[in-house]
Amino acid sequence: MTDQNSAIEEQGKELFVDPLPGQERFVAPLEETPLKEVDYLDESVPPTSMWADAWKVLRKNPLFIISSIVVVFVFIVALFPQLFTKVDPLNCVLDNSLEGARAGHPLGFDLQGCDVYAHVIYGARTSVSIGILTTIIVTLLGGFIGAIAGFFGGWVDAILSRITDIFFAIPFLLGAIVVLQMFRTSSSIWKVVFALAIFGWVSMARIVRGSVLEAKNLEFNTASLALGSSPIRNLFQHIIPNSLAPAIVMATMSLGSYIVSEATLSFLGIGLPSSVVSWGGDISNAQPLLTTNPSVLFWPSLALAITVLAFIMLGDCVKDALDPKSRTA
């Protein structure tokens, strides 16, 4: 053994004459470079889950705070409009047509003599409920179809994906006009929700299908199968929870766009009847007054813009917080 060692040293000497200046042997003093245990686990750091982590990120995001305050405020207005105005929005007196602001009516009156402020307040309920209902239906329907397509693959996927493609190919407005024409007489907001959901589930299905496909091929899923879990159990226990994040992001971001779509439909006169107060309808009614009395057009538009912006910003913040790429070990 010692012979061998000295032979090695000989060899070493021959190979490396002398270290070059600045490359002499250096060993850092141990007190300056303390050694930690291999694969040390810092137990002092409190445990967090993915959701808790996301919440920590969100809590510190000013954009999230502002947009969620706005969203909460809009919800309160939608739920309890009576708190904000005592005026009945449908009690319109033609005598007041285009009157300016006065006590109790801070934003004046529109062409029909309706109180603009009351309309803006009551319009929130329609817009928000259409947005939320559509989002729920779209998420459930699109999520279900997307999950089935991604999970089963093969011919199931082929058929479902072609159906999605067909719905994608129909122009939204044209389709919505056709659907809404079928319920011309109804004044319920459900018909608009229905029209929006019919064309909205497609994007959701595609997103969920993609994330299910991705989650399906992850190793923990294979590991679980090898443990004896059934594929269907895996779908509910592993795959769906892991594809929730993109669906949530998609849902929050599109909620705003459904509100805009409702406004578009109402603006075109094919959405809600004039008996239902909505921002889209108000904007539509105020359109001829753009040059003469722009404030009547301005207020519902502003309410719509702020609400939609708040929802989209909220979705953006949620996306940033849930984005797995920004999260490292």
Partner 1 sequence: MTETTNMKEKLAEMQRAQGPLLEVKDLKVDFTTDDKRAVHAVRDASFSVYPGQWVAIVGESGSGKSTSAMAVLGLLPGTGKVVGGSIKLEGQEIAGLKPKDYQKLRGSKMGLVPQDPMSNLNPVWRIGTQVKEALKANGMDVAHEKRSALAKALAGDEVAVKTNDDETFIGSQELPALFDAAKVALKAAGKSDEKIAKLMERFKEEWVPGSETRWRVADDLIKAGVKDDDAWVVAKEHVTGSTMNDRIAGLLSEAGLPDAATRARQFPHEFSGGMRQRALIAIGLACRPDLLIADEPTSALDVTVQKKILDHLHMLTDNLGTAVLFITHDLGLAAERAQHIVVMYKGQVVESGPSLEVLQHPQHPYTKRLVAAAPSLASQRIISAHERGEDAKALMEHQVKGEDALKKSEHIITVEHLTREFKLPRKKELFKAVDDVSFSVKRGTTLAIVGESGSGKSTVANMILKLLEPTSGKVIYEGQDIAGFKGRQLLDFRRHVQPVFQNPYGSLDPMYSIYRSIEEPLRIHKIGDKKSREKRVRELLDMVEMPESVMTRYPNELSGGQRQRIAIARAMALDPDVIICDEAVSALDVLVQDQVLRLLNDLQAEKGLSYLFITHDLAVVRQIADEVVVMQHGKLVEHATTDEVFDHPKMQYTRDLLDAIPGGKLQLGLD
Nearest approach, Cβ of residue 28 and partner 1 (Å) = 5
- DSSP assignments along 196-251, one per residue: HHHHHHHHHHHHHHHHHHHHHTSHHHHHHHHTT--HHHHIIIIIHHHHHHHHHHHH
Residues 60-89 that bind partner 1 (CB under 8 A): 60
Binding mask 270-309 vs partner 1 (x if CB under 8 A, - otherwise)?
----------------------------------------
Query: How many Å apart are CA 308 and CA 260, to the nearest integer?
Result: 7
- CB of 237: closest distance to partner 1 in angstroms? 8
State the distance between the two ends of the chain, measured CA to CA, in whole angstroms: 45
Q: Which of residues 220-259 bind partner 1 (CB under 8 A)?
A: 220, 222-229, 233, 238, 241-242
Q: Which stretch binds partner 1 (CB under 8 A): 39-47, 84-92, 257-265, 311-319?
A: 39-47
Residue from 3, 18, 31, 95 that binds partner 1 (CB under 8 A)? 18
CB-CB contact of 203 with 139 (8 Å): no
Question: Of 30 and 169, which has the nearer Cβ to partner 1?
Answer: 30
Q: How far apart are CA 196 and CA 190, in angstroms?
A: 10
What contacts 261, CB < 8 A, 6 or more positions away?
172, 176, 196
Q: What are phi and psi of 115, to 5 degrees?
A: -70, 120
Output phi, psi for 109, to 5 deg: -125, 155
Q: How far is the CB of 145 from partner 1 (least distance, A)?
A: 22
- Asked if residue 219 binds partner 1 (CB under 8 A), the reply is yes
Which DSSP letter does residue 109 get?
A: B
Using CB under 8 A as the binding rule, whether residue 28 contacts partner 1 is answered as yes
Q: Residue 308 class from Cβ within 10 Å (0-12 exposed, 13-18 middle, 19+ buried)?
A: buried
Per CB under 8 A, contacts with partner 1 among 107-166 are: none
User: Does the protein bind partner 1 through residue 185 (CB under 8 A)?
Assistant: no
Instruction: Tell me how crowded residue 236 is: count the other CB atoms within 10 A of its CB.
Output: 10
CB of 248 to partner 1, least distance (A): 13
Per rule CB under 8 A, is residue 20 in the interface with partner 1?
yes
CB nearer partner 1, residue 83 or residue 223: 223
| 116-152 helix and 294-322 helix, angle to the nearest 10 degrees | 30
How near is the Cβ of 40 to partner 1 at its closest, in Å? 9
Q: Is 55 an interacting residue with respect to partner 1 (CB under 8 A)?
A: no
In the bound state with partner 1, the residue whose beta carbon lies nearer, of 70 and 213, is 213
Closest CA relative to residue 225, chosen from 150, 151, 146, 144: 151
CB of 204 to partner 1, least distance (A): 20
Here the tokens at position 34 are 């303390």
In terms of CB distance, is 102 or 327 closer to partner 1? Answer: 327
Q: Which DSSP string do the residues of 49-105 spell out, in sequence order?
A: -HHHHHHHHHHT-HHHHHHHHHHHHHHHHHH-GGGT--S-TT---GGGTT---BTTB
Question: What is the closest distance, in whole angstroms, from the C-beta atom of residue 9 to partner 1 in the complex?
Answer: 8
Residue 18 backbone zone (phi > 0: left; psi -120 to 50: alpha; other: beta): beta
Which range touches partner 1 (CB under 8 A), out of 8-16, 145-153, 168-176, 273-281? Answer: 8-16
Give the one residue of 93, 182, 218, 305 binding partner 1; rule: CB under 8 A. 218
**CB of 80 or CB of 220, closer to partner 1:** 220
Q: List interacting residues with partner 1 (CB under 8 A).
A: 4-5, 8-9, 11-12, 14-28, 30, 32-33, 35-36, 38-39, 41, 43, 45, 47-50, 53, 60, 218-220, 222-229, 233, 238, 241-242, 324, 327-329
